[in-house]
Amino acid sequence: MAIIRDRKENHISIGIKEDVQARRVTTGFKDVFLIHRALPEIALQEVDMSTSFLGHKLSAPILIESITGGTKKTRGINAALAEAAETLDLAMGVGSQRVALEKPQLAYTFQVAREKAPNIFLIANLGAPQLVQGYGGKETQKAIEMIDADALFIHLNPLQEVIQPEGETNYKGVLQKIQEIVYSVNVPVIVKETGAGIAAEEAVKIEATGVKGIDVAGAGGTSWAAVEYFRAKKMKNGVRERLGQTFWDWGIPTVASVVETHQSTKLQIIASGGIRNGVEVAKSIALGASMAGFAMPLLKPATDNTEKVLEKLKIFIHEFKIAMFLTGCKNIEELKSTPVVITGKMAEWLRVRGFNPENYVAKR
């Protein structure tokens, strides 16, 4: 258990001190254009960013992604993120709750999220490898009740597991387990990646288990291979260090993953992985996502205080509002049907994979 706690603290300190962003693979947002309306014919003040996600109202389609929990220090991070989410009426996920299932006296480090944010859409979190190793409906329901969650994230992280020294590399039977969980818990289940994206083929299989959504967490933002590279370096593990370098840029770009999952299922799609401003949130919604999520950009502010998190989120929200104004969209429904031009590498990716990038051009 102490190993898991050390690992979590390491992830946080590496995330803050080192550059663990993808280097060669990019999210693909630079290939995605919204059409500028020189005559928006609306007033900025009347832009309505509110939306609803799985029946819950949000002031804007923004999610604070699962980051942490499990230690005293990470309790503070969850508290700051939750206070900001409550103030701004945004959704939030907590980090993997495995540690608190195994050591219930650490539950308070996650429960603080609900204490500080009694009204938000809050998402519990467990990893697929733990399900394969035996966690079932009972343990999962416990994680949900621990924070009075509105939904459950089951995270997929095969890339991280194969690179970290203590990785759990058995992914056999994960789909079956997801299905079992879907039928035994009392909240909607959302499957999320952690920075390497989800392809159409997996999305179709995931949909068949009865889950309600997918958070793509695509490539182009935080690279878990990079995080593990820095851990391996510290542990003087040369082989793992090399693996971290080799797989640093592994994964499906976020834009490709959003389009693939959205066009091949009827699920709610969350765009995440390298989302770094409000314009990318707008592009995500126009591509079919229901929300867009931020993890790394909020980590450092959350280790400072709630004010810093609020500052950052308010900028993203303001940028998002301006992007809606400049595309002449008064509300989220209009943004969903605003035309999008996909060029370059992303257009090529989508064509090669059998999707039509031009589908988005003449939406309205």
Ligand X SMILES: Cc1cc2nc3c(=O)[nH]c(=O)nc-3n(C[C@H](O)[C@H](O)[C@H](O)COP(=O)(O)O)c2cc1C
| 195 counts as binding ligand X under rule CB under 6 A | yes
Give the chain as a 3 state SS string.
CHHHHHHHHHHHHHHHHCCCECCCCCCCHHHEEECCCCCCCCCHHHCCCCEEECCEEECCCEEECCCCCCCHHHHHHHHHHHHHHHHHCCEEECCCCHHHHHCHHHCHHHHHHHHHCCCCCEEEEEEHHHHHCCCCHHHHHHHHHHCCCCEEEEECCHHHHHHCCCCCCCCCCHHHHHHHHHHHCCCCEEEECCCCCCCHHHHHHHHHCCCCEEECCCECCECHHHHHHHHHHHCCCHHHHHHHHHCCCCCCEHHHHHHHHHHHCCCEEEEECCCCCHHHHHHHHHCCCCEEEECHHHHHHHHHCHHHHHHHHHHHHHHHHHHHHHCCCCCHHHHHCCCEEECHHHHHHHHHCCCCHHHHCCCC
Which one of 273, 278, 301, 357 is in contact with ligand X (CB under 6 A)? 273
**Region binding ligand X by CB under 6 A among candidate stretches 7-15, 175-183, 245-253, 341-349:** 7-15
Which one of 117, 217, 256, 329 is in contact with ligand X (CB under 6 A)? 217
**Region binding ligand X by CB under 6 A among candidate stretches 35-43, 173-181, 192-200, 205-213:** 192-200
| 274 counts as binding ligand X under rule CB under 6 A | yes
| 301 counts as binding ligand X under rule CB under 6 A | no
Q: Which is nearer to ligand X, 226 or 350 (CB)?
A: 226
| 67 counts as binding ligand X under rule CB under 6 A | yes
Q: Where in 18-47 is the site for ligand X (CB under 6 A)?
A: none
| 284 counts as binding ligand X under rule CB under 6 A | no
| 90 counts as binding ligand X under rule CB under 6 A | no
Q: Which is nearer to ligand X, 77 or 329 (CB)?
A: 77
Instruction: Report, in Å, the least distance between residue 242 CB and ligand X.
Output: 23
| 68 counts as binding ligand X under rule CB under 6 A | yes
Instruction: Report, in Å, the least distance between residue 218 CB and ligand X.
Output: 8
Which one of 110, 135, 153, 320 is in contact with ligand X (CB under 6 A)? 153
